[in-house]
DNA sequence: CAGGATCCCAACTGATACTG
DNA sequence: CAGTATCAGTTGGGATCCTG
């Protein structure tokens, strides 16, 4: 079956028909509230490694709970490793895996598109919103 | 200020500090449940153009409401246009804009990474899950 | 045909309190 | 320090009904 963005589809007389598939999983995770922040922060850190409290400090507004959940998800996906040191006080180091490191440059290609088109997107939003607020209907 | 993925950050003694920023908006939208499906379907269609009912048929499981909302958001961002034909019965054509068309190849670069790493991600998840279910604690 | 309005449930997120 | 547990607010999404 043919694919687009890793998603199988069948072509019919009235157009293609898609079926749900894998890449959405990754994009959904990156699209959540904190994941990219965590990945970006680790990619900047020396050795691509930071401890819990450093991550928390580096991401303004993240709660302890959400940082933990975000890190668990990334660990589960094999994008980072968690190393626990049973000292007093305890210390936990989070480091990007090889796969985690390889993701950032790939993502960077797409965020480059976002950055260069962001002004257009904001302009389109402003235009759309100003069109909608007066009495003008969308027809 | 330095940036990563379009996100400004400041380097401190204990690591970088990020501030929330624009690219997340786009990734969050692409990460939602239907947006990429709609974009992909339009990118496959002749003239990058489909009518409402074609989109609905092409995306299994999408509700009328969610298709409408997804299309509105994409229209607002300037990624597609909506053209209403006041016939009986009415007809509405959705077509990718130039910016919308330019997004797909850029995204394709990243989804290529996803596809080639997907087996590793699934393996990591399976390993993580099987580690967790026995009595073994994560420490 | 296309989509607006409404209701409802599930999931995500945040705040707070507690622990090894 | 680095969590876990619990509770509450908010949002996303689906089902259904109705209309130009």
Domain membership flag for residue A27: yes
**What is the nearest CA distance from B51 to chain A, expressed in angstroms?**
10
| Domain carrying residue B82 | 20-127
Say how many Å lie between the first and final Cα of chain A, rounded.
38
CB contact under 8 A, B138 and A82: yes
Residue A68: inside a domain: yes
pLDDT of residue A60: 87
Q: Is residue A32 part of a domain?
A: yes
B76 belongs to a structural domain: yes
Range in A3-17, A50-64, A81-95, B11-25 with the lowest mean pLDDT: A3-17
Q: Does B130 contact A at CB distance below 8 Å? A: no
User: Is B92 inside any structural domain?
Assistant: yes
Q: Encode A77-111: b = buried (16+ Cβ within 10 Å), e = exposed.
A: bbbbeeeeeeeeeeeebbbbbebbbbbbebbeebb
Q: Is B44 close to A15, i.e. CB distance below 8 A?
A: yes
Q: What is the pLDDT of residue B132?
A: 72
Domains contained in chain B, number? 1
Q: Is residue B114 part of a domain?
A: yes
Residue A139: per-residue pLDDT: 39
- Assigned domain for B7 exists: no
Identify the CA nearest to B34 among candidates B11, B58, B16.
Answer: B58
Whether residue A23 is preceded by a cis peptide bond, meaning omega within 30 degrees of 0, is: no
Q: How many angstroms separate the Cα of B10 from the Cα of each of A58, A59, B1, B21?
A: 9, 11, 7, 14
* Closest CA in chain B for residue A45: B15
Is B56 part of the contact surface with chain A (CB cutoff 8 Å)? no
Tell me how far apart the alpha carbons of residues B27 and B24 are, in angstroms, rounded to a whole number: 5
Which among A66, A32, A20 is positioned nearest to B28, based on CA atoms? A32
Closest chain A residue to the Cα of B90, Cα to Cα: A139
From residues 32-71 of A, which are strand D contacts by CB within 7 A?
Answer: 51-53, 56, 64-65, 68, 71
Q: Is residue B104 part of a domain?
A: yes
Q: What CA–CA distance (Å, rounded) separates B4 from B18?
A: 9
Q: Chain A within 8 Å of B92 (Cβ-Cβ)?
A: no
Task: Specify which residue's alpha carbon is closest to the C1' of nucleotide D4.
Answer: A65
Report pLDDT for B12.
62
Instruction: Give per-residue pLDDT as tens, B4-43.
Output: 665 666 666 656 666 545 788 899 999 999 999 999 999 9
User: Residue A23: its pLDDT value, please?
Assistant: 81
Nucleotides of C under 7 A from a protein CB: 1-6, 12-17, 20
Does the beta carbon of A60 lie under 8 angstroms from any beta carbon of chain B?
yes
What CATH number is attached to the domain comprising A38? 1.10.10.10
B2: helix, strand or coil = strand
B61 touches chain A (CB under 8 A): yes
pTM of this structure: 0.86
Q: What local confidence, expressed as pLDDT, does residue B139 receive?
A: 40
Contact A32, B29 (CB under 8 A): no
Chain A residues whose beta carbon lies within 8 Å of the beta carbon of residue B137: none
The per-residue pLDDT for range A68-115, each reduced to its tens digit, is 999 999 999 999 999 999 999 999 999 999 999 999 999 999 999 998
Give the full edge-to-edge strand order of the sheet including B15-18.
Answer: B2-4, B7-12, B15-18
Q: pLDDT digits over B45-85, tens only?
A: 999 999 999 999 999 899 999 999 999 999 999 999 999 99
């Amino acid at each position: 079956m043919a694919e687009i963005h890793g998603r199988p589809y069948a072509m019919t007389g009235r157009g293609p028909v898609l079926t749900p598939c894998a890449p959405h999983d990754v994009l959904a995770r990156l699209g959540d509230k904190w994941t990219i922040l965590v990945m970006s922060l680790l990619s900047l850190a020396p050795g691509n490694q930071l401890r819990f409290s450093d991550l928390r400090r580096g991401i303004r507004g993240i709660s302890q709970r959400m940082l933990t959940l975000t890190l668990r998800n990334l660990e589960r996906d094999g994008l980072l490793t968690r190393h626990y040191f049973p000292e007093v006080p305890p210390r936990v180091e989070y480091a990007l895996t090889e796969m985690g490191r390889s993701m950032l440059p790939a993502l960077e290609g797409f965020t480059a598109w976002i950055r260069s088109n962001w002004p257009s997107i904001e302009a389109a939003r402003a235009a759309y919103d100003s069109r909608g607020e007066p009495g003008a209907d969308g027809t």
